[in-house]
Structure 1
Amino acid sequence: MGSSMAFKELQRELETKAEDLRKLQKDIAKNHEVRKKYTVQLGENELVLKELELLKEDANVYKLIGPVLVKQDLAEANANVRKRIDYISAELKRLDGTLQDMEEKQNSKKEGILKIQQRIQALQAGKAKA
């Protein structure tokens, strides 16, 4: 294979790997956005739970459903908020695992790109082994 042919192959491989890296970085950014939303929701729900825990058992609790406030049992409200906190916490843990996996892939892809760039430079310098 001629060196110009090898060079074109490497260029194509580099473009493909760079595109893969861009897609992965977009997914990582999306993961960060979702994690941010869940973190805010978790904080809000923990605040609601603290407020609910301050109430006496006979206190009136209302839940906003659409434009209407509906009376709700305190124990039920408490249980619902706890369930929501559990769900959000589980989602955050899942997103953390996914993020870690994506970051490892990102590092691996960056290394692959670097190796190809080095091969291209070596080829350009005429040092590549045929």
Structure 2
Amino acid sequence: MEQDQKKLQGLSETLQKFQDDLQTAIEARQRLESQQAENKAVQKEFKGLAEDSDIYRLVGPVLLKQDKSEANSTVDGRLDFIGKEITRTETRIKEIQQGSEKKRVELIQLQQQMQMAAQGQVQS
């Protein structure tokens, strides 16, 4: 019975770790989606600008003039990278959810076994 309690405790701790990892991954995905939205807004603004418009980039405390095509390619590259990171993060979330579900089923089965064993001892 003591061994089952230790196993139950271990499964509970593992399940809690899965939940913590899931929360962290979801927060990361939300940050990436926010960055993606910001960059899409910048991309939309660039499309509305004339070719000869001046674009400035904030680098530390300084505004540096930047070529429109260079600024466009920077934003496009950022959007591509963010999209890949979102995909990677979503894959990680699915993996965590699957692992969590397996541990949850294991935990429930162990609890049921322990209840049956306890009932068997009570009836004896």
What TM-score do you get using the length of structure 1 for normalisation?
0.91
Q: Quick one: distance in 1 between partners of 2:102 and 2:14?
A: 11
Shift of 1:25: 0.5
> For residues 63-92 of structure 1, what are the alpha-carbon distances to aligned partners after superposition, in whole Å with 9 as ceiling and x for unaligned?
000111100000000000000000000000
Structure 1 match to 2:81 = 87
- Amino acid aligned to 1:19: E
The two structures, once aligned, show a CA RMSD in angstroms of 0.8
Q: Quick one: distance in 2 between partners of 1:47 and 1:29?
A: 27
Misfit runs of 4+, over 2 Å: none
Structure 1 match to 2:33 = 39
Structure 2 match to 1:124 = 118
Q: Which runs of 5+ in 2 are unaligned?
A: none
Q: Quick one: distance in 1 between partners of 2:57 and 2:46?
A: 12
2:55 is equivalent to residue 61 of structure 1:
yes
Structure 2 match to 1:105 = 99
Matched residue pairs, number?
A: 121
Q: Which runs of 5+ in 1 are unaligned?
A: 1-6
Q: Quick one: distance in 1 between partners of 2:35 and 2:53?
A: 25
- Amino acid aligned to 2:35: Q
Report the secondary structure of 2:65's partner residue: strand
> For residues 3-61 of structure 1, what are the alpha-carbon distances to aligned partners after superposition, in whole Å with 9 as ceiling and x for unaligned?
xxxx1111110000100010111000000111111000000000000001111111100
Shift of 1:97: 0.4
Structure 1 match to 2:20 = 26
